[in-house]
Amino acid sequence: MRRLLLAAGLAVLALVWGGPLLAAWRDSFSAHMVAHMGVVAVAAPLIAAGLTLPPAWAPPAIPALSSGALPVGAALLEFIVVWGWHAPAMRALAEASLAATAIEQLMFLGCGLLLWTAAFRPGHEMAGAFGLLLTSMHMTLLGALLSLSPRPLYGLSDVTCFGVQLGAGLDQQIGGVVMLGVGAVVYLAGGILLVARMLNREQAAEVVR
């Protein structure tokens, strides 16, 4: 099962990075957001679930990393990275430079893997759920801001995405909806599942007693 999850995550990553989302459609914000969500909300959790990590994989010399603080710290790091790369100046840089796009995508993947692997660690379900729910909240906020913005933040010219020509405003609105419909929902679902797993384990322990 782990190998299947890992293979699926790597396949999604190859599809996102090797397809037109970051190549032919790189000027489209909605294409960027599909790529972003594909990396952090689909590929990263699949890869994290498929990785075989020992329970205490964090360095023991740093107490904060061996406690439930890691998922929360990872969520805060992802918040900084996600909001930073969606500032208009950074978005323009990523559209203009392939090197900047590569750095952006690697940072997205790194933060996503750190958060999901930290959340999946046995015994830290509550901290993991809190980290995922915190991420869901800030993605909901950013997606709503992008969808409801009265003017486009990322350029004024028309773009092409999935073979359809879109105005800059509509392109941005679609991107915001993608963040709301995929990112916010996946992280929320992950947090709920972790809470359910914790409650089931405690219930099973009570039965044994």
The low-confidence residues of the chain, meaning pLDDT below 50, are: 54-66
State the DSSP code for 45. Answer: H
Asked if the structure places residue 81 within a domain, the reply is yes
Asked if the structure places residue 82 within a domain, the reply is yes
pLDDT of the residue at 203: 67
User: Which residues span the domain enclosing 79?
Assistant: 2-53+63-208
Phi-psi region of 67 (alpha: psi -120 to 50; beta: other; left: phi over 0): beta
Helix 29-37 vs helix 88-96: crossing angle, to nearest 10: 90
Asked if the structure places residue 58 within a domain, the reply is no
> What does pTM read for this prediction?
0.87
Asked if the structure places residue 98 within a domain, the reply is yes
pLDDT of the residue at 207: 59
pLDDT of the residue at 199: 83
pLDDT of the residue at 55: 44
Number of domains in the chain: 1
Asked if the structure places residue 8 within a domain, the reply is yes
> What letters, b where the CB count within 10 A reaches 16 and e where it falls short, cover 101-112?
beebbebbbbbb
Asked if the structure places residue 106 within a domain, the reply is yes
| Amino acid at the residue 83 | W
